[in-house]
Amino acid sequence: MFLDGKGNTLIERLIDKMEQAATRLNYEQAATYRDQITKLRVILERNFVNGERGDVDIIACVTKSSAACIQVFFHP
Dump pLDDT digits (tens) for 43-65. 887 766 565 566 777 778 888 88
| 5-20: average pLDDT | 91
What does pTM read for this prediction? 0.59
Model pLDDT, residue 60: 81
Q: Which residues pair with 64 in a beta bridge?
A: 67
Query: What are the CB-based long-range contacts (under 8 Å, 24+) for 32-40?
Result: 37/11, 40/2, 40/7, 40/10, 40/11, 40/14
Banded model confidence at residue 29, pLDDT cuts 50, 70, 90: very high
> Residue type for 65, please?
S
